[in-house]
Structure 1
Amino acid sequence: TTPKKACAVNPLKMSQPIGGAFAFMGLRGAMPLLHGSQGCTSLGLTLFVRHFKEAVPLQTTAMSEVATVLGGYENVEQAILNIYNRAKPEIIGICS
């Protein structure tokens, strides 16, 4: 079969939060934090691990449906505290 698409789509180039996380990974001492659901972060993590063939430090606020509707400030605050207490990064870059 011949593909009907004129081009191939690379999800790493089409996702703004993944692109932002990739930019933060280029900074020394930075830890990227994706503000969203855990599934969206796991997709980006899978793409990064396949691309770099090594472990990638990528964190999430793990938003649920209820937290999204009622506001996710507590999730962001708790994620920042957890990341700082465990890894002590110099920069925590939040992408949403």
Structure 2
Amino acid sequence: MIWDSYYNNASGTWTIYYNSPFIYREFKIKIANSLITSAWGQNYTTIGCTVTNESFIWNSKQATYRLNYESMGMTSGIAVLQATMEGSTLHTYAN
């Protein structure tokens, strides 16, 4: 994991994002009554790499944005950005 954060008593609209040297990625969620009530706006920009596949799934407890990427044919990987409700705490992380 390259980024990991917790936010107590989370509610309202949040932008979940992470900027790595190759890929900036983000999505938005709305939280009410300790649940993710909507998720949208998945977006990415790249520098020096190509995204070969992407997926975005969410439910009332978790939203996950996953990108497969390749950098100039030398490096490839999976970039994950996730938001999870743990009770009333929002847990966000990227890898």
Q: Which has the higher helix share?
A: 1
Larger radius of gyration: 1
The reply to whether TM is greater than 0.5 is: no
| TM-score (ref. length: structure 1) | 0.27
Q: Which has the higher strand share?
A: 2
